[in-house]
Amino acid sequence: MALRYDAGEVITAMVTPFNSKREIDYNKAEELAKYLITHGTDAVLVAGTTGEGPTLTHEEEFELLSTVKRAVANKAKVIMNAGSNSTDTAVMAAKWAQKEEVDAILSVVPYYNKPSQKGMIEHFSAVAESTNLPVIIYNIPGRTGVNMLPQTVAELAEKHQNIVAIKQSFGDMDMVTEMKLACPEDFSILSGDDSLTLPMMSLGARGVVSVASHIFGSQIKSMIRNYKTGEFLPAVNMHKKLYPAFRKLFMAPNPIPVKAALAHKGLIEDYVRRPLVELTDAEKQDLFAVLDKINED
């Protein structure tokens, strides 16, 4: 059976480049988007957590989206973050994203107010009914404080044809199995953590919404393709090779380490917006030693 919606195998949750004044550097954003799609990225996610979406104004989001869409020029899909812990706000974001003609939206399980499973169903039903766009649910209990259960995912996927996938950022493999058993066959599961990509794919996941693809996009793409074509040993070996980077890129709150890594490669400047703070020099050296060793091997 064909997928309801195919966002690709490697979706990069793109960082938002800032200059020394912590203003968005749109030129760097355009350059970075172009770099990503030539290094394994199938779709670019704009203004997510990795893109420091909570600190962006609506005007900045509009300009950033326009910049990325222009940069990818139909060579990759563009997905917009449209999540909120307010259902009304999430609905408005979904409607805005549809007006801006993005390819899909990512909408997170409401955070902080900790809804019940019934509340999640009502929330995502309202989002799905407000737009014709494909909706990717984002389940990340470590940030939201609540976990969406597999049966809830299945109920939403059965009820709404435009709820097409879930970004699962939770290392419980039994939940992935339960989702595969409960959800329609054409519903996609995407790993929300780079280190979980291969384990989740072994249970039927489609691909990954990645942070490490900023640095190792081609290698991650190769890992996924090898696995899907039955070249399991090369896939496992690539997973093992990249695993230290997968872990080290989360040595501090995302996207602090990956921005430092991109600056180390000369692709952006190393600035984040408060309340986030940049890595110390010692932390950077620790990070770069891991990344440089992988590139040397």
Residue 267: the pLDDT is 98
Residue type present at position 9: E
- The b/e string for 256-265 (b: 16+ C-beta within 10 A; e otherwise) is bbbbbbbbee
Quick one: pLDDT band at residue 35, thresholds 50, 70, 90? very high
Q: How far apart, in whole angstroms, are the C-alpha atoms of residue 168 and residue 118?
A: 19
Residue 269: the pLDDT is 98
Q: What is the mean pLDDT of residues 34-46?
A: 98
Q: How far apart, in whole angstroms, are the C-alpha atoms of residue 239 and residue 244?
A: 9
Contact 194, 187 (CB under 8 A): no
Task: Provide the percentage of residues in the chain whose pLDDT is more than 70.
Answer: 100
Sign of the CA dihedral running 2, 117, 131, 13 = negative
Catalytic entry in 69, 77, 167, 221 = 167
Q: Does the pLDDT of residue 1 top 80, yes or no?
A: no
Residue 283 backbone dihedrals phi, psi, to 5 degrees: -65, -40
pLDDT digits (tens, 9 = 90+) for 223-242: 999 999 999 999 999 999 99
Tell me the helix, strand and coil percentages in the chain, rounded to 5.
50, 15, 40
Annotated active-site residue 138? The verdict is yes
Residue 265: the pLDDT is 96
Helix (H, G, I), strand (E, B) or coil at 1: coil
Crossing angle of helices 87-99 and 117-129, rounded to 10°: 30
Crossing angle of helices 256-264 and 281-296, rounded to 10°: 60
Catalytic entry in 5, 26, 138, 227 = 138
- CATH number for 10-230 (one of 3.20.20.70, 1.10.10.10, 3.40.47.10, 3.30.70.120): it is 3.20.20.70
Domain extent listing, the chain: 10-230
CA–CA distance from 12 to each of 120, 216, 274 (Å)?
26, 11, 23
Residue 32: the pLDDT is 98
Distance of alpha carbon 82 from the chain centroid? 12
pTM of the model: 0.96
Q: Provide CB contacts within 8 A for 266, sequence distance 6+.
A: none
Residue 295: the pLDDT is 85
Contact 15, 259 (CB under 8 A): yes
pLDDT digits (tens, 9 = 90+) for 137-183: 999 999 999 999 999 999 999 999 999 999 999 999 999 999 999 99
Helix (H, G, I), strand (E, B) or coil at 217: helix
Q: Does the pLDDT of residue 297 top 80, yes or no?
A: no
